[in-house]
Structure 1
């Protein structure tokens, strides 16, 4: 095949955490090109906490936090079980072992991380689960001054925290603003935020810090990055993917990739047609997602055209969400884990552990709805103690912006009967549900769903509340309710890959020259979310793995 406009060794499509693959390939002596269809870098990674869940990582080892391959695999087996080829034993081994190597490599490239102490695995301490870590296996990037990026400073997609410079692991303690640890955390975040502005810095934290640090490393290596450059086709020669067509500056550019192409272009959370195609008739909406605007699935479709196999296309990284007055989703995380909160379906019945992982919470909503429970929307109900003590979205404790009420985000009732009427819930059933719940709260033991037993549930609860940090009565009016929908932060099903990140065809054979990572793939986590940063970590790790494999002898490919 001739007529190439540009030639490189390794082409990376997308600029989220998968660009670890670009950095690794260049470190191995390869020519690399990164293309991003948006004008901003970072994709959904930038809009995330930037945390990475990595068992037995070097930071854990240095700080003496006990972990091992066997323990991590036991946790995988216990939580994920048999999830098919996407989470095969070989893929799990590759993820864990390569993750350890990857952190060492990134640190050698100048990236800096910190452990998220106490940010426990999402199933640690849960009944029947083995191998979970209460202290946590997650790390996050240290804060970074984007001014170091020069002309690229304003090309990093904005993060989720607005103007606050806050570590992701600080979010939970900061939500306890009436406590000593909450006030101390708020003061620390405030000093950091204001101090950075006074000094003229453009500080990035969370996912934006991870991407900024990766871009900084790529720029130091002089790796070219093309923005506003969209993948439109993959080119095949002698049964091998040898290049791609990239639409850039109003024309198609044919890029040859001698070693391979890594698809790291995200999922299809914003593609309404694809979402409905794989929803099995259940209500799903691209307007419920918090994924980045470019998460539209073209890379998956193009690879499918080459015979690529897919799996779990009905799955996503679910995040129960309310809908703000402007139509955007508001993610519900700590609110449902705090004492004084409950979630019920349209029949006024409680049906799951409200403090479970956000991934499982969304799955529970769909399962209940499928069974006829009318759980979309469900209702998060809180009392006035909850509202006075804990944040609701971006509203601080004790202050409920008028627009949340007038815009319909929150219903407010002086009594439970009044609230039930506004939410069209059966008042008698709702009261019976809450009375039973309150008995559990008084004793500190949730006999129905075991809320507050898991380490992660307590982490997001209120440690000053006893006897159960996650369980408190709903009894003091006025009462509030928010309609919850199964929002998401991205899809988690896609192309099937092997332990080397090679895309597989329907026969389970690798498509030569084609690699994939991140949300355009079927997740190694199966249908579970094992801990904070599981999706970001998998994207980075399998980008690293792809670079290692593609950079080896081309004949091996």
Structure 2
């Protein structure tokens, strides 16, 4: 499939109102090509002209680099799976997980997210986007004490495998799939990493191999994860002749008489004035890669060194909005994920390792201080809270024994394969005894051995009396389902022992502009800034300071981009909600 519109070429236009000092005129301008693509597609479907600007050479942003999952309560695929969900149940879950309403996570925004999420999925399906339910990928707080409304089988969706060849020449703009050359779904990862442990994992691996090989035999270029999501949205965008300008950096908003009327976009050595008659949607991510902003706003210590975010995540949209009077909130928050710093200084996400049997996390004093199996954002928040209270949480140490090393993947290395470089560089500490390991890590040996002894008693009984590890459905999902009696608890008793320092890394910040339930950006007095919308990681999240389930970030961006397109079209005489 080819398009008559080159994504690299601007199309000159004149404002219908008669102004001629614009370099390009459109109805709906979308800054950022991740979840914001949904807004552009919706605007086009409503009969409005749309334009997407993306500063990198690729389309998709952090969404394209990710697993491509969306957390959508009461979505239309759940009944097919025999699951009953409702807006009321989802809102009750959010109330328990997120807590009291606050800026960005008002009751009105929560209701808008839940109600419009289902509508958005139906719209995308009509446009040809094919979803599958991530069955078993539990809501992150399902089964956790004091939380109602969580679903153990999960509310998350991801796209089916997609043949990127359908995009024709546009496929070169897709970011590589997070699964590489495998047609591997995000929901299959937790099972397939236990390949050596169960027939179920082996069966999953066989399905993935067959799916991948089948695509190759049919000469398809199958992609999954974020690449599939972006590709499947991009295809109808191309069909609707929506231009996407790559290598086009948003510089600032254009405001006239108090209303946002367009934006300055730097492209091919020129700064273009782009008119947006219906409005501008900022969906360009946060500021994870901006050292100055991280040091000023993020929880400390943090200068962005530990982030795995999209390289273009430098805060352009947030800074511009702040210059023009936008209210902001939760700038200190991020999608935290425990992270290790590899020998080559590259940060690597460290998620599945910590929840498997035979692993604990201790602070600089050699003591456990939280449930190692909690959801990744919760883990990062707990690391920072402990550090703020004791000064001993950043970094912390993950401690395992040789049984864990022989059974589970570790920092991308297959079970039982420990690169010699890891030990020689000091990245991974090793000790024949726990006392030796404590010395290598600079930890108090008496505290570490006492901590491990107490943990081992819990492991034998299958009950974590200190932090209830293994009670939540998501904790079990990330554990080892072949291990009994608790899939998350196993003793640390087989030498040699290993440890690695872990940090509160992230995949993006989640603080920024405060918006209302119509995705309109609010000023510091709480009034909408005319013509300005925002969605995703450049906003104060509807999820507050939590992450309720897999795909909460992409869901937040996509749903409020969809809402923004609806609202902007409804404000014009030509706008209709079809």
Q: Does 1:389 align with 2:414?
A: no
* Residue in 2 that maps onto 1:183: 202
Q: Does 1:261 align with 2:280?
A: yes
Runs of 4+ in 1 over 6 A off after TM superposition: none
* Residue in 1 that maps onto 2:4: none
CA distance in 2 between partners of 1:554 and 1:301 (Å):
28
Structure 1 alignment gaps of length 5 or more: none
Shift of 1:116: 0.6
Shift of 1:188: 2.0
State the Cα deviation string for residues 79-120 of structure 1 (Å, max 9, x = none).
Answer: 111141210000000000000000000000000010011111
* Residue in 2 that maps onto 1:523: 541
State the Cα deviation string for residues 149-182 of structure 1 (Å, max 9, x = none).
Answer: 1111121112333333210000001121121111
CA distance in 1 between partners of 2:76 and 2:284 (Å):
28
Q: How does 1:196-207 map to 2 (within 5 A)?
A: 196-207=215-226
Structure 2 alignment gaps of length 5 or more: 1-18
Q: How does 1:278-357 map to 2 (within 5 A)?
A: 278-279=297-298, 282-357=300-375
CA distance in 2 between partners of 1:275 and 1:191 (Å):
44
Which segment is superposed worse, 154-163 or 426-435? 154-163
> Taking structure 1 as reference, are residues 163 and 285 closer, same or farther at Cα in structure 2, changes over 3 Å only?
farther
Contact 1:37 1:230 in 2 (8 A): yes
CA distance in 2 between partners of 1:415 and 1:298 (Å):
50
CA distance in 2 between partners of 1:538 and 1:484 (Å):
28
State the Cα deviation string for residues 373-417 of structure 1 (Å, max 9, x = none).
Answer: 411110011111111111113212222222332333322222111
Shift of 1:239: 1.4
SS at match of 1:538: helix
* Residue in 2 that maps onto 1:157: 175
Contact 2:292 2:303 in 1 (8 A): no
CA distance in 1 between partners of 2:204 and 2:430 (Å):
30
Q: Does 1:246 align with 2:275?
A: no
Give the count of matched residue pairs.
Answer: 556
Q: Does 1:78 align with 2:96?
A: yes
State the Cα deviation string for residues 204-233 of structure 1 (Å, max 9, x = none).
Answer: 111111111111121111111100101111
Q: TM-score, normalised by structure 1?
A: 0.98
State the Cα deviation string for residues 302-346 of structure 1 (Å, max 9, x = none).
Answer: 111110000000000000000112211111111111111100001
CA distance in 2 between partners of 1:436 and 1:271 (Å):
42
Partner of residue 471 from structure 2, selected from 447, 453, 475: 453
Contact 2:181 2:223 in 1 (8 A): no
> Taking structure 1 as reference, are residues 83 and 380 closer, same or farther at Cα in structure 2, changes over 3 Å only?
farther
Partner of residue 231 from structure 1, selected from 240, 246, 250: 250
> Taking structure 1 as reference, are residues 479 and 195 closer, same or farther at Cα in structure 2, changes over 3 Å only?
farther
CA distance in 2 between partners of 1:364 and 1:412 (Å):
26
CA distance in 2 between partners of 1:159 and 1:44 (Å):
12
* Residue in 1 that maps onto 2:10: none
Q: CA RMSD in A?
A: 1.4
Partner of residue 272 from structure 1, selected from 291, 296, 301: 291
